[in-house]
Structure 1
Amino acid sequence: MKKIILSAVAGLTLASSVMASDATPVFSHTDKLKFSGLTYIGLTKNSYKDELVNPNETNFELRRAYFQLKAYLLDDPKSYYRVTFDMHQNAEDDMVVRAKYAYLYLNNVLENTGVELGLVHRPWHDYEEHNAWFYRDISKVMIEAKNGGDLSNSADFGFNFKTKTQYFDSEIGIFNGEGYHSDFNDDEASDKAGNGMSLEWRATAHILGVNGKDKQTKKTYFDASFFGQYNQEHKASASGLANDYDDLVFYGLHTVYNQPEFLVSAQYVVSDDTADNSTYVSAQAGSGYSINGEYRFGNTYEYRVLARYDAWTDEELVSSDERERTSLIAGFAWQQNHNVQWVANVIVKDNEKDAFKASKPEKADSTAYMLTAQVEF
């Protein structure tokens, strides 16, 4: 991991020096390089219901800063190598850089199918963030959100086959399963480590024959998706038994309808308990749903009113012990131009009393007031 971080810093430093002066030549073993960047700059005021446990606070934030390079290495113009560096604040409150993606994409290895090899996209997150929920700068999708399912993050080591046709597209791959910033080495000292691999998939029907990705305000599309994950021995369980691992198995149904003036979307996810003993339930077993929408207006639909509601209930040995966690998001967005978007929003978390509230502020009752600038080039 230290080597990855050092390499990332070196790469960012080199790129910065190249862009700082038009006279600086760029040397490469490929004819075409493509640079891009994406940053979330924010101000958040968190107000907690129980101030004695979680004191209120207001902070300026650099939530994420991505820098991306694509190198087109082969004769096929749609094949490339991609690396994306991710600047974020770690648990020690230091700003650090790590690799988010680093993969080779080979186009048309099968009919209408390409493949990513390396540190790659997982099948679901990228689809939802480009077709149904466009505000990753204020909240992750439900299966990743801490106050939602908290099941999976967006990148992992492995391979991902991606098929695209007019009326159908899909992704299916095999991954380590722990994600790009988790420990995937099995050792007794880690409660994050696992032994098994993860099979993950998404299948999407484009009912109107239109793929909405990246041009959502200019297209009318209607999609229905089935997605999920079968992750064997995902991590060491909290049961306390030696060599006892949880599998992570979840399934989801999702639909979205979009036209230039508005969008509506909904999903339902079930995560199964796969523990081998009858006295323990996996912490990631449960079910939930999410509904989101937005209304757009203005000459180019640059003004947007947005809302989202998530509800997640963890599975327990005794059903009466199950507690629901909910999040309500409401806000207003302004797409100033192609490069800058502003969002003002509020997030209200209202959770039934459970063990998370004393130790995990991200799962405690709270109201967050947020102002965000999303900058990309």
Structure 2
Amino acid sequence: MSVFLMCSNAIAQDEDERKGINIADLVEMSGDWFIAYRDGIKQVQADETVPVENEHTSSFVLKRSYFTLKKELNDVFSVRYTMDLTIDTEGDDAGNVETRLKYLYLMTKPRINSKVFTGTGIEVGMVHRPWLDYEQKINTYRVQDNMFIERNRIFNSADFGVTVTGNIGPKMDEGFLKNVNGVMKGKYASYSLGIYNGGGYSGIENNNNKVVAGRLTVRPLANRLPQLQLSGYFNRGKGNSEFSPDFNQVLGFLAFTEKQFRITAQFHDGVGDFRARYVDAEDPSHALANHGYSFFGEYKFGKSPFSIWGRFDEFTVEEINEETQRVIGGFTYKVNKMIRLILNTEHTTVDGNTEDIYELNLEISF
């Protein structure tokens, strides 16, 4: 079996670290496993329907397991199938492994004879939303927990709909994409735009409204400072409930990616959320304003397998004055290109109540 270059599902690595297995030239297979020992409050996913409770746990856990199959049908069409496996935490089946689909789509790469719009791709089905797949290629610590936006339950990474992606202008130099960071293929700009049901890949459609979302990323100094990227992102639509509260959001993002280190800063301002949780208790059609920011940094110690990283989040829901602050940090030991060990801690404060989390994470990506 030959190894080919392919994006990992949930924790995308640098361009020279992409993994996957070609099975008999018929289908391409890859996977990501997140296994941890966790002591602290229970991990809660953005798409869970149960109320958030600061329940303390101390146990070995399977956080997530992703299994992906890809098949190129011809030069234009390909398909992807990704299973999301986790532990069921509700009802009589609590403790069993729960399986659901995360991605199931047809990808087409139309032949467009243009020097302006290049690398165009269209996903139809259960598809990537435009933001989190991009961010997770810079902050590769999804194994610890969700990114800032998903952690605060604004939206998740996939949905039913259509996504169009591509570059504006030529492709970035291959050397930079391989040795520094391959998150954005376009030398000057890239984009992702789509229309979705709005409730995420695990949510049934509860109204007839759709959400439009988009990202534009630019390298303002592509020739002199290609490490710098600036992004803007938006959501516009309704929250996924029968009351259809507003769900509007804007996000600004700055990233500087070097081979040895990377830093990011993002600022979010919006009304409501994808699952219509941030609403007035007495009038669920009235969405609540919310805003926040997040900073992330990672430093790799030369050619050694060690790195250090940290993150700071702050998020506020107006009217109910709910404030959340998180300080996250850890050390990483890279066993090889498929295995990482991550020792991390998290200090979370919600409305003055604090909880500390300690973890040893094992990430396996192949």
Task: Place the TM-score, normalised by the shorter chain, in its bin.
Answer: 0.7 to 0.9
- For residue 367 of structure 1, the aligned residue among 353, 356, 361 is 356
Say yes or no: does 1:290 pair with 2:315. Answer: no
Looking at structure 1, the residues matched to 220 and 37 of structure 2 have their Cα atoms a distance apart, in angstroms, of: 39
Cα deviation, 1:68-100, whole Å, max 9, x if unaligned, reads 111110134xx4111011111233232111111
Aligned to 1:232: 238
Which secondary structure does the structure 1 equivalent of 2:347 belong to?
strand
Unaligned residue ranges in structure 2 (runs of 5+) = 1-22, 43-52, 168-185
Question: Contact between 1:44 and 1:60, CA under 8 Å: does it hold in 2?
Answer: yes
Cα deviation, 1:326-370, whole Å, max 9, x if unaligned, reads 1110100111111001100001101225xxxxxxxxxx6311100
Looking at structure 2, the residues matched to 235 and 155 of structure 1 have their Cα atoms a distance apart, in angstroms, of: 18
Looking at structure 2, the residues matched to 182 and 47 of structure 1 have their Cα atoms a distance apart, in angstroms, of: 25
Unaligned residue ranges in structure 1 (runs of 5+) = 1-25, 185-192, 211-218, 237-243, 354-363
Question: Contact between 1:151 and 1:284, CA under 8 Å: does it hold in 2?
Answer: no
Matches for 1:313-328 after TM superposition, within 5 Å: 313-316=316-319, 321-328=320-327
Matches for 1:225-374 after TM superposition, within 5 Å: 225-232=231-238, 234-236=240-242, 244-272=243-271, 280=283, 282=286, 285-299=289-303, 301-316=304-319, 321-353=320-352, 365-374=354-363
Say yes or no: does 1:70 pair with 2:70. Answer: yes
- For residue 138 of structure 1, the aligned residue among 126, 134, 144 is 144
Question: Contact between 2:250 and 2:269, CA under 8 Å: does it hold in 1?
Answer: yes
Aligned to 1:80: 78
Aligned to 1:166: 187
Query: Percentage identity across aligned positions?
Result: 28
Aligned to 1:119: 126
Alignment root-mean-square deviation, CA? 2.6
Query: Structure 2 vs 1, CA of residues 75 and 330 (structure 1 numbering), >3 Å: closer, same or farther?
Result: closer
- For residue 154 of structure 1, the aligned residue among 147, 153, 157 is 157
Question: Contact between 1:39 and 1:374, CA under 8 Å: does it hold in 2?
Answer: yes
Say yes or no: does 1:129 pair with 2:161. Answer: no
Task: Please state how far the C-alpha of 1:54 moved relative to its aligned partner.
Answer: 5.1
Looking at structure 2, the residues matched to 284 and 335 of structure 1 have their Cα atoms a distance apart, in angstroms, of: 42
Matches for 1:33-44 after TM superposition, within 5 Å: 33-44=27-38
Question: Contact between 1:195 and 1:232, CA under 8 Å: does it hold in 2?
Answer: no
Question: Contact between 2:198 and 2:239, CA under 8 Å: does it hold in 1?
Answer: no
Aligned to 2:174: none
Which secondary structure does the structure 2 equivalent of 1:144 belong to?
helix
Aligned to 2:176: none
Question: Contact between 2:165 and 2:192, CA under 8 Å: does it hold in 1?
Answer: yes
Looking at structure 2, the residues matched to 322 and 276 of structure 1 have their Cα atoms a distance apart, in angstroms, of: 12
Question: Contact between 1:333 and 1:341, CA under 8 Å: does it hold in 2?
Answer: yes
- For residue 88 of structure 2, the aligned residue among 84, 87, 90 is 90
Query: Structure 2 vs 1, CA of residues 55 and 288 (structure 1 numbering), >3 Å: closer, same or farther?
Result: closer
Task: Please state how far the C-alpha of 1:208 moved relative to its aligned partner.
Answer: 4.4
Looking at structure 2, the residues matched to 265 and 340 of structure 1 have their Cα atoms a distance apart, in angstroms, of: 24
Looking at structure 2, the residues matched to 120 and 55 of structure 1 have their Cα atoms a distance apart, in angstroms, of: 33
Question: Contact between 1:160 and 1:173, CA under 8 Å: does it hold in 2?
Answer: yes
Looking at structure 2, the residues matched to 309 and 55 of structure 1 have their Cα atoms a distance apart, in angstroms, of: 22
Looking at structure 2, the residues matched to 104 and 55 of structure 1 have their Cα atoms a distance apart, in angstroms, of: 40
Looking at structure 1, the residues matched to 327 and 294 of structure 2 have their Cα atoms a distance apart, in angstroms, of: 10
Looking at structure 2, the residues matched to 198 and 56 of structure 1 have their Cα atoms a distance apart, in angstroms, of: 36
More helix by share: 1
Task: Please state how far the C-alpha of 1:47 moved relative to its aligned partner.
Answer: 6.0
Task: Please state how far the C-alpha of 1:39 moved relative to its aligned partner.
Answer: 0.4
Say yes or no: does 1:376 pair with 2:348. Answer: no
Aligned to 1:107: 109
Task: Please state how far the C-alpha of 1:55 moved relative to its aligned partner.
Answer: 5.6
Looking at structure 1, the residues matched to 54 and 154 of structure 2 have their Cα atoms a distance apart, in angstroms, of: 24
Question: Contact between 1:122 and 1:160, CA under 8 Å: does it hold in 2?
Answer: yes
Structure 2 residue identity aligned to 1:245: S
Tell me the matched-pair count: 301
- The structure with the larger Rg is 1
Question: Contact between 2:279 and 2:287, CA under 8 Å: does it hold in 1?
Answer: no
Using the size of structure 1 for normalisation, the TM-score is 0.74
